[in-house]
C-alpha cells in the first residue's frame, strides 16, 4: 500500500472506487453469479489491499445501486434477480391501485437487416447490421403493448436462432451475451394509433396511445438497445417517483 498507492492515488480513481469497479465487473462477467455469497469485509479488504472501512464504502455504494444485498449476521450476497424482478426492474406501468400490470408475451417476430439512420445514431456508427424484435404483449387476454426493439448484431449474434425468446429479455441478454442492462432512458409522448397499431392492440384507429422510446445502456454505459413501445393506457398508466434534485 505504501509507495504504490501514493503514486497512483493522484492519477487514478480513489481506492474504494477501484474496488467498486472491480467487484462490479466480477458480477457482470458471472464470476460472482446471482446469489453468490461474498467473503466478509475484512477478507475483501485484505484481497484488495485496503482497509475494511474502504471496502465497506464500495460495498455500501453497490448495495445502493441494487447489485448487492447486505444484512448483519448473514453477510453480503449478489442480488438474485429473479425472472420476475428483472422483467419489472424498468417496467413502470401500474394500474389505478398502483399494482404491477403483468404483461404476458403473445406474438413475436424477429428479423435482421441494415440499420436505419436512427438506429445508427443510437447504437453507434460501428453498427453494420441490426436485429429487430417485434413483440405484442397482453394483460389478461387483452392486448396491451406493442414493442419494437433493435440491437446491434455484433453485441448479440445468434439471437435470431433463440426463438421463442424468454418473456423477460434482460436476464437472457445477460446470460447469453454478457450484456447487463444497468440504465434506461425513456422518452414519453402521446400518439394516436395508426391502422397497424390499432389492429394489434384492438383499439380504434386514432385512439390515444402512450409512446415510449427507450435507450438501454449496459454496465459500461454503451447503448445496446433501442425500443419503441406503444401502450394502451385505458387500464394502466406509466408511474414514476421523482425526488428533489
Residues that bind DNA (CB under 7 A): 1, 5-6, 9-10, 14-17, 38, 40-43, 45, 49-54, 56-57, 60, 70-76
Is the peptide bond between 164 and the residue preceding it cis, with omega within 30 degrees of 0? Answer: yes
Q: How far is the CB of 76 from DNA (least distance, A)?
A: 4
Q: Is 144:236 a contact under the CB 8 Å cutoff?
A: yes
Q: Give the rounded distance of the alpha carbon of 182 from its chain centre.
A: 5
- Contact partner, 40, from DNA, a copy of itself, none, Cβ < 5-8 Å per class: DNA
- Contact partner, 237, from DNA, a copy of itself, none, Cβ < 5-8 Å per class: a copy of itself
Q: How far is the CB of 198 from a copy of itself (least distance, A)?
A: 13
When the beta carbons of 2 and 126 are compared against DNA, the nearer one is 2
The alpha carbon torsion through 195, 198, 202, 203 (nearest 10 deg) reads -120
Q: Looking only at Cα atoms, what is the longest distance across the chain?
A: 71
Among 87, 166, 88, 94, smallest CA distance to 133 is for 166
- Contact partner, 199, from a copy of itself, DNA, none, Cβ < 5-8 Å per class: none
Q: Is 101:93 a contact under the CB 8 Å cutoff?
A: yes
Query: For residues 131-154, b (16+ Cβ closer than 10 Å) or e, as one string?
Result: bbbebbbbbeeebbbbbebbbbbe
Q: Is 148 left (phi over 0), alpha (psi -120 to 50) or beta?
A: beta
The one among 15, 23, 67, 131 contacting a copy of itself by CB under 8 A: 67
Does the protein bind a copy of itself through residue 182 (CB under 8 A)?
yes
State whether the Cα torsion 152-158-162-168 is positive or negative. Answer: negative
Does the protein bind a copy of itself through residue 48 (CB under 8 A)?
no
Neighbours of 203 (CB within 10 A): 17
| Residue 79 per-residue DSSP state | -
The one among 190, 195, 204, 221 contacting a copy of itself by CB under 8 A: 190
Q: How far is the CB of 64 from a copy of itself (least distance, A)?
A: 9
When the beta carbons of 8 and 95 are compared against a copy of itself, the nearer one is 95
Stretch that binds a copy of itself, among 4-12, 90-98, 106-114, 117-125 (CB under 8 A): 90-98
- Contact partner, 73, from DNA, a copy of itself, none, Cβ < 5-8 Å per class: DNA
Q: How far is the CB of 229 from a copy of itself (least distance, A)?
A: 12
Contacts to a copy of itself by CB under 8 A: 65-67, 79, 89-90, 92, 94, 181-192, 206, 208-210, 213, 231, 233, 237-245
Amino acid at each position: 500500500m505504501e509507495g504504490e498507492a501514493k503514486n497512483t492515488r493522484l492519477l487514478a480513481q480513489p481506492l474504494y472506487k477501484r474496488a467498486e469497479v472491480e467487484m462490479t465487473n466480477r458480477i457482470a462477467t458471472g464470476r460472482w453469479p446471482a446469489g453468490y455469497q461474498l467473503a466478509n469485509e475484512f477478507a475483501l479488504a485484505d484481497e484488495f489491499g485496503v482497509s475494511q472501512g474502504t471496502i465497506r464504502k464500495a460495498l455500501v455504494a453497490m448495495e445502493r445501486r441494487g447489485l448487492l444485498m447486505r444484512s448483519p449476521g448473514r453477510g453480503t450476497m449478489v442480488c438474485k434477480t429473479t425472472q420476475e424482478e428483472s422483467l419489472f426492474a424498468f417496467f413502470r406501468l401500474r394500474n389505478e391501485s398502483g399494482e404491477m400490470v403483468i404483461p404476458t408475451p403473445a406474438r413475436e417476430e424477429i428479423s435482421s437487416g441494415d440499420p436505419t439512420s436512427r438506429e445508427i445514431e443510437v447504437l453507434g456508427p460501428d453498427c453494420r447490421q441490426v436485429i429487430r424484435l417485434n413483440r405484442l404483449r397482453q394483460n389478461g387476454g387483452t392486448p396491451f403493448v406493442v414493442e419494437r426493439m433493435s440491437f446491434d448484431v455484433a453485441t448479440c449474434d445468434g439471437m435470431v436462432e433463440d426463438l421463442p425468446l424468454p418473456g423477460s429479455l434482460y436476464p437472457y441478454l445477460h446470460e447469453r451475451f454478457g450484456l447487463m442492462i444497468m440504465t434506461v432512458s425513456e422518452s414519453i409522448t402521446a400518439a394516436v394509433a395508426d391502422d397497424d397499431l390499432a389492429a394489434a392492440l384492438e383499439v380504434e384507429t386514432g385512439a390515444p396511445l402512450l409512446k415510449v422510446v427507450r435507450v438501454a445502456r449496459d454496465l459500461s454505459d454503451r447503448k445496446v438497445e433501442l425500443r419503441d413501445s406503444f401502450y394502451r393506457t385505458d387500464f394502466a398508466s406509466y408511474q414514476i417517483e421523482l425526488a428533489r434534485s
